[in-house]
Structure 1
Amino acid sequence: MTAAPTTELSPKVVAAMKRYRVGAYVVGVGLLVLVLVAMPLKYLADQPLLVAVVGPIHGFLYMAYLALTADLAVKGRWAVAKVVGVALAGTIPFVSFIAERKVTAPLRRRPTT
């Protein structure tokens, strides 16, 4: 029985993948703080300060996430639909974590050069 051929990853793709993984987790945690802590405080406890602080920070981090996604997409030669789906994952709570695992799983199984 022969093993299926594997495509080796270049160091540039591996580095882009690591940056993307960090970005996905940071954006995911920031969005969870915004949605699960800051928004309830604003609307249930009439405390808008945390939304005023966390909201713009999440917006900035999401822009960085988009840049990291684009970087990995170019280096990994993704289809446009995949890029759009992964980019939108940063806007829905918990989905950036799922997208990160799905996107990087095939990449993590390949040997590096």
Structure 2
Amino acid sequence: MSGALLRYRAIAYVVGVVLILLVVVGMPLKYIWDEPAVVETIGPAHGFLYMVYLVAVFDLARRTRWGLRRMLLVMLAGTIPFVSFYAERVVTRWAREPATVTV
């Protein structure tokens, strides 16, 4: 499970950085200064990386036996700037908690 967590943490950080670049740099350049080059470059890269992020979240959720709601919330965290960094910290704590067995 530590490999799945490491993969998730790495891709969450990368997706977060690329999304911030897209929103903070690319969007103003495109809509204020009519320069779409950054959005045309970073946009598809973010889309591909987000798909990798979804796979990493699914893999981690499967290994840690999270419910569907938790998995979907973590997946959505990659769509809001800066939230993926917070979610990465929370998910790391969740994944490192000892598993509780319900009888």
TM superposition score normalised by structure 2:
0.91
Shift of residue 109 of structure 1?
6.0
What's the secondary structure of 2:81's corresponding residue? coil
TM superposition outliers: structure 1 runs of 4+ over 3 Å: 106-110
CA displacement 1:48-91 (0-9 Å, x = unmatched) = 01100100000000000000000000001001000000000000
Report if aligned partners of 2:64, 2:95 keep a CA contact under 8 Å in 1: no
Match of 2:27 in 1: 39
Match of 2:101 in 1: none
Query: Percent of pairs identical after alignment?
Result: 55
**Cα RMSD, aligned residues only:** 1.1
Q: Partners of 2:71 and 2:5 in 1: how far apart? A: 14
Candidates 55, 64, 67, aligned match of 2:43? 55
Gaps of 5+ in 2: 99-103
State the AA in 2 paired with 1:45. Answer: W
State the AA in 1 paired with 2:59. Answer: D
More relative contact order in 1 or in 2 (CA 8 Å, sep 6+)? 1
State the AA in 2 paired with 1:31. Answer: L
Report if aligned partners of 2:18, 2:42 keep a CA contact under 8 Å in 1: yes
Q: Please tell me whether Structure 1 or Structure 2 has the larger radius of gyration of its CA atoms.
A: 1
